[in-house]
């Protein structure tokens, strides 16, 4: 049976080959580098089938609740100690919809494998091999293709996002642009650290949590020990903290040999949510590059020495076809984005993370090469 001919979700047909090429490239490089526990490259026909079935399942509800499920393409022998079904289940919309309520918790993946030209579901797993193909059904009509990072830590690396008939393929080369902030290069998989408390890994978790509360907000990351940033903030501060809150910072400084990774991840999640929840308050939250929270609800203003307001930034979205564009910052998303761009323009050593209520997420940073503020739209990487 030719699975390609069975696909009724046209976007699946459009991207399957590109996604297969992505995994083939990364797995080949990993093999040459001597990495172990590598996943199997998924064939385009299986990718297409998984996307097709997952899309239609995402539009269904079980007892009134939309389908949310994570699918992983792997042989059960690579899953450590998986939960295996006594009999293989057919890979179809009905089965995914029925299974979803029991496997929607974070970190649980439904194992999918093949026999001949047919896919089947064999069970669930918490463990995945390196660069394993993962397909998340995030919400109705929204699918995210990703893979586990080779270091096994932090957020999975996104490969493609499909929302209805809109398809975005991540362009890793965007991270090679001059002055790309570390949070962007790390999300693109160009830089990564095997240290679980690496500051960039932590900042990514902060961005994910900040986006998750869906109220929008600004987080300003300023150099530790500097007070120059205060000249870009209206005084008196509405909610100054004394001393600075160091819940996240204390975890980052913690010796990784003294606690387990699971303990640390759970502790970090609590501390990060504690901090990022405050970004929902009107105004900007300010943390140092050591993750110490200084204030929240702060009002951004133009610094005294700033000669003019920001009238253009370089807008970059790290997807194929997303070429850098010059535009007014208010065109990116409104008042928050304009304020964040002005802050980074006046405080080039800082970066600004901006979450919109509609799910968009932008990182503002200063580019020495072009002498302009650059805005990286990274919501495609955070899903």
Q: To which residue do tokens 């993962």 refer?
A: 134
Q: Which of 319, 63, 354 is nearest to 210 (CA)?
A: 354
Q: Within a 13 Å sphere around the CA of 189, how many CA atoms are in the beta-carbon half?
A: 22
| DSSP letter assigned to residue 171 | -
What is the rounded end-to-end Cα distance, in angstroms, of the chain? 33
Residues in contact with 295: Cβ distance below 8 Å, sequence separation at least 6, in sequence order: 237, 238, 239, 240, 241, 285, 286
Contacts of 9 (CB under 8 A, 6+ apart): 51, 52, 55, 56
Phi-psi sector, 367: left (phi>0), alpha (psi -120 to 50), beta:
beta
Q: Which two tokens stand for residue 257?
A: 């040999």
Q: Which of 210-214, 261-265, 305-309, 337-341 has the highest mean pLDDT?
A: 337-341
Helix axes 93-103, 44-58, angle to 10 degrees: 70
Between CA 10 and CA 352 the distance in angstroms is 37
Q: What is the pLDDT of residues 111-163, one digit of tens each?
A: 999 999 999 999 999 999 999 999 999 899 999 999 876 554 556 889 999 99
Give the whole-angstrom CA distance, residue 198 versus residue 203.
9
Mean pLDDT of 277-294: 96
Top-confidence residue, 267 or 367: 367
What is the DSSP secondary-structure string of 254-299? S-TTSS-HHHHHHHHHHHHHHHHGGGGSSSEEEEETT--EEEEEEP
**Which residues, in sequence order, are CB contacts of 339 under 8 Å at separation 6+?**
218, 284, 300
Residue 49 three-state SS: helix
pLDDT per residue as tens digits for the range 16-31: 999 999 999 989 998 9
Task: State yes or no: pLDDT of 333 exceeds 90.
Answer: no
pLDDT tens digits for range 164-198:
888 999 988 887 777 888 888 888 876 665 555 67
Sheet of 372-377, strands arranged across: 239-245, 293-298, 284-288, 217-222, 351-355, 361-367, 372-377, 313-316, 325-327
**Secondary structure percentages of the chain, helix, strand, coil, to 5:** 35, 30, 35
Pairing of strands 166-169, 157-163: antiparallel
The strand order across the sheet containing 157-163 reads 83-90, 118-125, 109-115, 69-73, 133-139, 142-147, 157-163, 166-169
What's the pLDDT tens digit per position in 237-262? Answer: 999 999 999 999 888 887 655 656 66
Sign of the four-CA dihedral 377, 332, 314, 366: negative
DSSP symbol at 321 = T
> How would you class 3 by CB atoms within 10 Å of its CB: exposed for 0-12, middle for 13-18, buried for 19 or more?
buried
């Amino acid at each position: 049976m030719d699975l390609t001919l069975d696909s009724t979700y046209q976007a699946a047909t459009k991207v399957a080959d590109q996604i297969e090429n992505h995994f083939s490239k990364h797995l080949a490089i990993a093999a040459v580098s001597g990495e172990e526990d590598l996943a199997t490259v998924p064939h385009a026909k299986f990718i297409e089938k998984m996307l097709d079935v997952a899309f239609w399942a995402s539009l269904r509800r079980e007892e009134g609740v939309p389908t949310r499920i994570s699918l992983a393409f792997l042989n059960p022998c690579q899953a450590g100690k998986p939960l295996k079904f006594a009999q293989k289940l057919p890979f179809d919309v009905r089965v995914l919809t029925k299974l979803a309520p029991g496997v929607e918790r974070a970190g649980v993946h439904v194992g999918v494998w093949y026999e001949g030209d047919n896919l089947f579901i064999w069970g669930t797993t918490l463990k995945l091999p390196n660069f394993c193909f993962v397909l998340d059904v995030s919400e109705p009509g929204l699918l995210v293709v990703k893979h586990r990072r080779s270091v096994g830590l932090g957020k999975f690396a996104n490969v493609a996002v499909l929302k209805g008939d809109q398809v975005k393929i991540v362009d890793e080369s965007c991270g090679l642009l001059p002055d790309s902030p570390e949070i962007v290069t790390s999300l693109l998989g160009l830089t990564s650290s095997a240290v679980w408390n690496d500051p960039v890994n932590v900042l990514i978790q902060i961005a994910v949590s900040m986006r998750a509360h869906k109220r929008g907000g600004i987080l300003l990351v300023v150099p530790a020990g500097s007070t120059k940033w205060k000249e870009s903030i209206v005084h008196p501060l509405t909610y100054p903290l004394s001393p600075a809150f160091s819940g996240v910072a204390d975890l980052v400084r913690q010796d990784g040999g003294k606690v387990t990774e699971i303990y640390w991840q759970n502790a970090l999640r609590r501390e990060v949510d504690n901090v990022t929840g405050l970004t929902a308050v009107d105004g900007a939250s300010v943390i140092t590059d050591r993750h110490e929270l200084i204030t929240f609800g702060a009002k951004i203003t133009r610094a005294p020495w700033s000669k003019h307001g920001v009238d253009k930034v370089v807008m970059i979205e790290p997807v194929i076809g997303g070429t850098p564009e010059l535009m007014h910052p208010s065109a990116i998303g409104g008042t928050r984005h304009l304020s964040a761009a002005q802050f980074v323009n006046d405080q080039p050593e800082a970066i600004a993370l901006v979450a919109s209520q509609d799910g968009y997420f932008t990182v503002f940073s200063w580019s020495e090469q072009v002498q302009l503020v650059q805005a990286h739209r990274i919501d495609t990487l955070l899903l």
